[in-house]
């Protein structure tokens, strides 16, 4: 059924140059060519603004990683030689391989098995404006563990990292990655999630700050019954580039995935990119998957690219679908709210808040939810909407 991937798509999705199955991966940076910008996986990314992360820039500093671990959760700083590292997945592009080749030590957070843990926060603060740093984080939920890990990225500088997410059999793990960088920051990140039998991952990416942020979450299944929900919420202002490239690799039977990314854009040169890849391999019978991307363009001069790709190698699936829509503010909604006396600025805020509400409501950590609501409010204040 590989022919599916070479047929023109009926509603505008771009046909991948090659199957996701043939996508090259390696731990070694030198195994990758330096990208020139025309490659399929780099064509949307402003390479000139990556501070050399893609072309061999050496580390000139290091990010500060602080872990606020919940009771029972262990947090370790380990060397490159720790045998647990690199087990969740292999870097899929040159920057991820550069980060893997260059990191000095890694942070390993382990949730204990068979108990429910309180949220743990890993705060990564950039090495500072003008500096380059590489990092590595591994989050592991042991068998039947249940808990939440928040990755909180902030500060300045250029940073590339790999985040390993191991969800053991029967574990329920929530990961929330918040990219709330300073205006100068550049961050290229690959997340490698591996789900065991009957494991559940709820993964949320939030991107607010930074000059360029590119996040590639990859999900693989190691057993039947895995369930992954990938949510994304982003808000791009003038000059910001935010790129999200979720890839769900269904290689096991009876697994489920659901991807929902929503973004708002405002200001000249605000650019968001969403590439949603789903591959259902021959072995993945009984797969159920859906991916959705919605973009709300609030002002002129902003651009949203949205490309869903779905490759299906077996017909024996429960269901597979995708949807993508990018639109301007709905004037009818504004009119309706205003016709009830609500001033225009307040009406706009209600509509934008409403747009994100579905995702915010799914964030189970009240502090994070409130922080996001406040951040969206602040973004809207900034443009005077």
Binding stretches for other proteins (CB under 8 A): 330-333, 335-344, 346-347, 350-351, 353-358
Q: Token pair for residue 350?
A: 């209600």
Least CB distance from residue 111 to other proteins, whole Å? Answer: 32
Q: How far apart are CA 89 and CA 275, in angstroms?
A: 19
Residue labelled with tokens 């503010």: 329
Q: Is the dihedral of CA 265, 269, 272, 273 positive or negative?
A: positive
For residues 326 and 303, give the distance between their C-alpha atoms in angstroms, rounded to a whole number. Answer: 9
Choice between 268 and 344, CB closer to other proteins: 344
Report the C-alpha dihedral over residues 142, 145, 118, 176, rounded to 10 degrees. 70
| Closest separation in Å from C-beta 101 to other proteins | 43
Closest to 152 measured CA to CA, from 126, 116, 173, 188 = 126
- Shortest distance (Å) from residue 85 CB to other proteins: 41
Distance in Å, CB of 290 to other proteins, minimum: 18
Residue 81 or 332: the one with the smaller Cβ distance to other proteins is 332
**In whole angstroms, how large is the CA radius of gyration of the chain?**
20
User: Of 317 and 350, which has the nearer Cβ to other proteins?
Assistant: 350
Report the Cα 291 to chain-centroid distance in Å: 13
Question: Shortest distance, CB of residue 361 to other proteins, whole angstroms?
Answer: 9
Question: Roughly how many angstroms between the first and final C-alpha of the chain, as a whole number?
Answer: 48
Looking at the Cβ atoms of 78 and 323, the one nearer to other proteins is: 323
Q: Which is nearer to other proteins, 37 or 336 (CB)?
A: 336
Q: Parallel, antiparallel, or unpaired: how do β-strands 74-79 and 105-111 relate?
A: antiparallel
Shortest Å, Cβ 379 to other proteins: 16
Of 11 and 340, nearer to other proteins (C-beta) is 340
């Amino acid at each position: 059924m590989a022919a599916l991937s070479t047929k023109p798509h009926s509603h505008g999705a771009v046909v991948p140059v090659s199957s996701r199955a043939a996508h090259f991966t390696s731990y070694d940076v030198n195994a990758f060519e330096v990208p020139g910008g025309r490659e399929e996986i780099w064509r949307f990314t402003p390479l000139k603004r990556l501070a050399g992360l893609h072309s061999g820039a050496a580390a000139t500093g290091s990010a500060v990683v602080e872990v606020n671990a919940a009771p029972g959760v262990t947090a370790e700083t380990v060397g490159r030689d720790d045998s647990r590292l690199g087990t969740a997945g292999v870097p899929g592009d040159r920057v991820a391989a550069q980060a893997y080749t260059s990191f000095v030590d890694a942070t390993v957070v382990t949730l204990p098995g068979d108990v429910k843990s309180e949220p743990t926060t890993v705060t990564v603060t950039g090495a500072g404006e003008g500096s380059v740093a590489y990092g590595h984080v591994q989050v592991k939920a042991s068998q039947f563990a249940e808990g939440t890990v928040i990755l909180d990225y902030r500060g300045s500088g250029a940073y590339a990292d790999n985040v390993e997410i191991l969800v053991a059999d029967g574990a329920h793990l929530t990961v929330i990655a918040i990219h709330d960088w300073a205006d100068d920051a550049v961050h290229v990140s690959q997340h490698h999630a591996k789900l065991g039998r009957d494991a559940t991952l709820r993964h949320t990416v939030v991107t607010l700050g930074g000059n360029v942020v590119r996040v590639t979450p990859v999900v693989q299944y190691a057993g039947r019954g895995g369930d992954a929900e990938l949510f994304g919420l982003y808000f791009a202002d003038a000059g910001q580039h935010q790129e999200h490239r979720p890839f769900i690799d269904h290689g096991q039977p009876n697994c489920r995935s659901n991807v929902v990314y929503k973004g708002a854009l405002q200001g000249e040169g605000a650019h968001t990119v969403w590439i949603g890849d789903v591959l259902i391999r021959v072995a993945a019978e009984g797969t159920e998957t859906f991916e959705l991307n919605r973009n709300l363009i609030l002002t002129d001069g902003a651009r949203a690219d949205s490309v869903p790709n779905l490759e299906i190698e077996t017909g024996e699936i429960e269901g597979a679908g995708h949807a993508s829509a990018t639109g301007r503010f709905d004037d009818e909604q504004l009119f309706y709210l205003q016709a009830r006396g609500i001033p225009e600025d307040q009406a706009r805020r209600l509509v934008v808040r409403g747009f994100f509400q579905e995702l915010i409501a799914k964030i189970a950590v009240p502090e994070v939810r409130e922080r996001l609501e406040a951040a969206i409010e602040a973004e809207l204040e900034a443009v005077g909407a």
